[in-house]
Structure 1
Amino acid sequence: MDYHIYLAGEIHSDWRDQLRASLKEKPGVHFHFYGPQENHDLSDAIGEHVLGEQPNAVYKDLQASKINNLRTELHLKKADLVIALFGEKFKQWNTATDAATAIALGKPTIVIRPESLHHPLKELSEKANVTVDTIEQAAQVIDYIFA
């Protein structure tokens, strides 16, 4: 069986690699992972790469956002599971948007967040199927589901 997992979250660390490495091999189960564009410079510049130079930074961001949002929407719609990681270091507006969109689409969602972010993420965590504190705990949930 093939499963599509969307990994929402910051793009500045190797947390996606950590999660994939933590998953156990399962006979007949294949995971396909998707996520936001991890090349930050490309993500910010994609509008100008496609449409040419924009008149100012606002328009540059607007055009990049349209393309990035389309990419995210397509991946979220085909996802069987969404995992959204909230970390301590970076602001997580995109992660929150992706997780909320996934939940609104009825996609099963696992939120990973440290205990220190319990309060600011309490409503989102309540709507997610599962909330855990660590990447390893998320891997354990996936291993259990697909055992």
Structure 2
Amino acid sequence: MTKIWQVYLSGEIHSDWREQIETMTKQKKLPVCFTSPVTNHENSDNCGVAILGAEDKPFWFDHKGGKLNAIRTKTLMRNADIVVVRFGEKYKQWNAAFDAGYASALGKPLVILHSPQLRHALKEVDAAALAVAENPEQIVYILDYVINGNLPSA
């Protein structure tokens, strides 16, 4: 029986990097199941008050949502074989940095994905990773190598 690798895709939600990785992984027929946080920004922000009731103060609004999102994040990260964290260009992604630290604390193999322009800003995060990639294709190459021992074809 082939192992199905559990890969958690964390971080930036404003581009299609997850879809790119999933599509290329399917094309290579890699035995991978991807999980991620809720990537619908509005749902992620509003889940606490939508489920548990309104809040007058922004702190409690965010507190409720953050805790509900943490149930998913903590559970899926604990079950992951590999955690990939993407840092995008557009927004400061404190949650991505937290996820990278949490994955590291759990002892999960951590792969970081960001552009070369963020190298200096993320040097400590990169130092905790087992690999730092610059594009989704490299993530798929890493998965193919780790799972099958294959190198990219020229």
TM-score category (smaller protein): over 0.9
TM-score by length of 1: 0.93
Q: Alignment partner of 1:88: what SS?
A: coil
Aligned residue in 2 for 1:3: 5
**Structure 1 residue 47 and structure 2 residue 51: aligned?**
no
Aligned residue in 1 for 2:64: 63
C-alpha distance in structure 2 between counterparts of 1:32 and 1:67, whole Å: 23
Instruction: Compare 71-80 and 54-63 and name the one that shifted more.
Output: 54-63
Q: What amino acid is the match of 1:127?
A: A
Determine what percentage of the aligned residue pairs are the same residue. Answer: 39
TM-superposed CA distance for 1:55, in Å, is 2.0
Q: Deviations over 1:58-100 (max 9, x none)?
A: 2111110111112100110000000111121221111111111
Aligned residue in 1 for 2:24: 22
Q: Alpha carbon RMSD of aligned pairs, Å?
A: 1.1
Count the aligned residue pairs: 144
Show the 5 A alignment for 1:69-88. Answer: 69-88=70-89
Aligned residue in 2 for 1:138: 139
Q: Alignment partner of 2:8: what SS?
A: strand
Q: Deviations over 1:30-57 (max 9, x none)?
A: 2111111111111111111221111222
Q: Unaligned stretches of 5+ in structure 1? A: none
TM-score by length of 2: 0.89
Q: Alignment partner of 1:146: what SS?
A: helix
Q: Unaligned stretches of 5+ in structure 2? A: 149-154
